[in-house]
Amino acid sequence: MQRVPIQRVLVTAGASGIGREIALAFVNSGARVHVVDIDVAGLNALRADSLAISTEACDLADLASIERVIPQAIETLGGLDVLVNNAGIAGPTALVENYDPREWDRVMQVNLGATFNVTRLAIPHLKKSVAGCIINMSSAAGRLGYPQRSAYAASKWGVIGFTKTLSMELGVHGIRANAILPGPVAGPRMERVLEGRAATSGRTIEQERVSALANQSLKSFTEPGEIAALALFLASEAAKTISGQAISIDGDQHRSV
């Protein structure tokens, strides 16, 4: 595999959280990065922090928006070497019997639908790269399940199956595909999850925090920057024979409860 002098990287849902850390990590490594997200304010803040990042608003739950924005984003980059499918939503916290079917469809539309649609549009461009790479964001829920978060767990299991299939289909073109499976990640999103659990269980948020960490060997949530470092590695020359893998970064999590 030849070394790419300047990687051209597209990150979905990169205006905040894990996606933002990934975008900044690639820029700091010398890559050319374009971020798409529905969060216009977040995109503006990201550009203010790094003038090297280009951005465009995109509703990743809307097919028409994806089909309009993604080709433009790749054109802005001048091609594509690395696709990071980071878009995802948690969905409500509810038992299956109480789960709103409309919310189920919305989670699938973003977590699986956006990953599929962005990828299919990116593949023709990745085939032109000398080191094409796809990184899909799954979750520990994609290997452990997740009580009261059925749509999220199902979608993240689906991401892993999609990733493995991509690896098998695209390996002949030298394109690698891997999935990252974070466990609980420090930040606002995790705090909202803990709040949702507390509202359902009647326990305090701190009690839910202790409960979440009880299910992993290392007693701390994963930092977004640690996940960004893993993404950077997977897109690097050092990972040139790593493909089709579902790689956990979760403090050795045992259960998703």
Q: Cα 18–163–217 angle (5° rounding)?
A: 55
- Domains defined for the chain, CATH in brackets: 8-183+223-249 (3.40.50.720), 185-221 (no CATH)
Q: Above 70 in pLDDT, residue 26? A: yes
Q: Is 152 a catalytic residue?
A: yes
Percent of residues in the chain assigned helix, strand, coil, to nearest 5:
50, 15, 35
Residue 220 phi, psi (nearest 5): -155, 150
Distance CA(60)–CA(57), nearest Å, equals 9
Q: What is the pLDDT of residues 210-257, one digit of tens each?
A: 988 998 999 889 999 999 999 999 999 999 999 999 999 998 988 776
Distance CA(61)–CA(87), nearest Å, equals 9
pLDDT, the chain, mean: 94
Distance CA(174)–CA(153), nearest Å, equals 30
Q: What is the pLDDT of residues 180-203, one digit of tens each?
A: 999 988 988 788 878 988 998 999
What is the arithmetic mean of pLDDT over 109-126? 98
Q: Above 70 in pLDDT, residue 41? A: yes
Q: What is the pLDDT of residues 42-78, one digit of tens each?
A: 999 999 999 899 999 999 999 999 999 999 999 999 9
Residue 21's nearest CA partner among 187, 155, 234 is: 187
Q: Above 60 in pLDDT, residue 2? A: no
Active-site residue identified among 26, 99, 104, 152 = 152
Q: What is the pLDDT of residues 82-94, one digit of tens each?
A: 999 999 999 998 9
Per-residue exposure over 221-231, b if at least 16 CB sit within 10 Å of its own CB, e if not: bbebeebbebb
Chain Cα centroid distance, residue 25: 14
Q: What is the pLDDT of residues 171-180, one digit of tens each?
A: 999 999 999 9
What is the arithmetic mean of pLDDT over 6-31? 96
